[in-house]
Amino acid sequence: MGGARLAFDPPAGSTVRVAALAPNRAADDASAAAGVRPGPRSAAERAELRRRYFTPTLDDLLDRTVTAARSGARIVTWSEAAAYDFVGDGAAVVERARAVARAERIYLQIGVVYLLSSKPSPNVEIRAIMIDPGGTVVWNYLKTSTVFDDGNVRGPGVVPTIDTPYGRLATAICFDANFMPLIRQAGQAGADILLLPSSDWAQVTDALAQQAVLRGVENGMSVVRPAQRGTSMAVDHQGRMIGYEASWFSSDARTTDHTMTVTVPIHGRPTPYSRWVGDAVAWLCLTGLLTMAAAAAVRRFRRTAAAEPDMATEHALPAVRS
C-alpha cells in the first residue's frame, strides 16, 4: 500500500521556496571557544559578549535572510540556537528580525537561545519565533523536550500552527520530534509543512533526521529541518528527500554559507495516524505480543508439568518380600 502511494500518488500542485539557515561556523566556534555560558553577569559584561559574539552572528543571519528572500524564498527558517542573547535584553533580536520580515514580505522563523542569570539548570530558554510578512510575532515556541545537559526551561508542549498562502505551517524544535504524540498535534491540526529547527552533533545528526522523516510521513506533512552542528534536510510528506545540506562537516565549513534552499509542496495529506488511529495500532500490537507471549509461557509450563514423572513414584523403594 505504501509503495502504491509512492508510485501513483506523488506530491503535485503548488510549491513554495523555503530557505533554511544555520549560523556561521566560524562565529559559532568562536562563541563556543570563549565559553559563553548562562550565569550572572553585569550589564557591561553582557554588552561586551553581545558586541563580540552575538551581534556578528545575528548580522550574518539577517543578511543571509535578505539574500534568500530576494532570491525567491517566501519562508525562511533558522536552525535551533542560531542566535543568542540574554533574557531581558533580547527584544532587539526580535525587533531586527521583524523589520526584515516586514521589508521582505516573508514568513521568518528565528531560532534564539536566551541565557538566564541562574547557574543551576534550567538556565536557558530555547525558542523558535515566527514572524509574518507584516512584522507580527505569531508564535514564540518554547522547546518542550530536554536533552542531556541542555538545561532548558521546558515549554508547555503545545505545537503552534498558522495558515499562510503557502499552506498551514507548524513548528517544534529538534528532539521534540522524537515524541510522536507531540508532533501528532501538527498532523491533527492539518499542518502542511513542519519547520523543525535543530542543533545536533555528528554522532546523532543522521538518527535524529530519520526520526523527523518518520514524523512527517506519519502526519502527512513536509518537514524542513535546518541544523546547527549537524545535517540539514527537507522531505516531502511521503518522505522523499528534497534537500540535504551537510556542509557543517566539510573541510571548508568555517567559510561556507550554511544555507539550504528547497522547493516544498504547500499541501500535505491527512493520514489515518494523524486524524484517527494515532498510536492505537502500536498499543494493540504491543498488547497482542504480550498476550501471545503470556499464552506461550502458560502452554510451555503446562507441557513441562505434564511431562515430569511422578517423583514420589520414581524414587519409591521396592517392596521387601519376606
Encode the chain (322 residues) as per-residue pLDDT tens digits: 455 556 556 677 899 999 999 999 999 999 888 888 888 889 999 999 999 999 999 999 999 999 999 999 999 999 999 999 999 887 999 999 999 999 999 999 999 999 998 878 889 999 999 999 999 999 999 999 998 778 899 999 999 999 999 999 999 999 999 999 999 999 999 999 999 999 999 999 999 999 999 999 999 999 999 999 999 999 999 999 999 999 999 888 887 889 999 999 999 998 988 766 655 555 566 677 777 788 788 888 888 888 766 554 555 555 555 4
Relative to beta strand 75-78, strand 107-115 is parallel
Helix (H) or strand (E) holding 68: helix 55-70
A 10 A CB-CB count for 144 gives 19
Residue 42, phi then psi, degrees to nearest 5: -75, 165
Question: CA torsion sign, 154 to 155 to 157 to 161?
Answer: negative
Annotate 29-51 with b (16+ C-beta within 10 A) or e (fewer): ebbeeeebebeeeeeeebeebbe
* Angle ∠(37,60,154) on CA atoms, nearest 5: 40
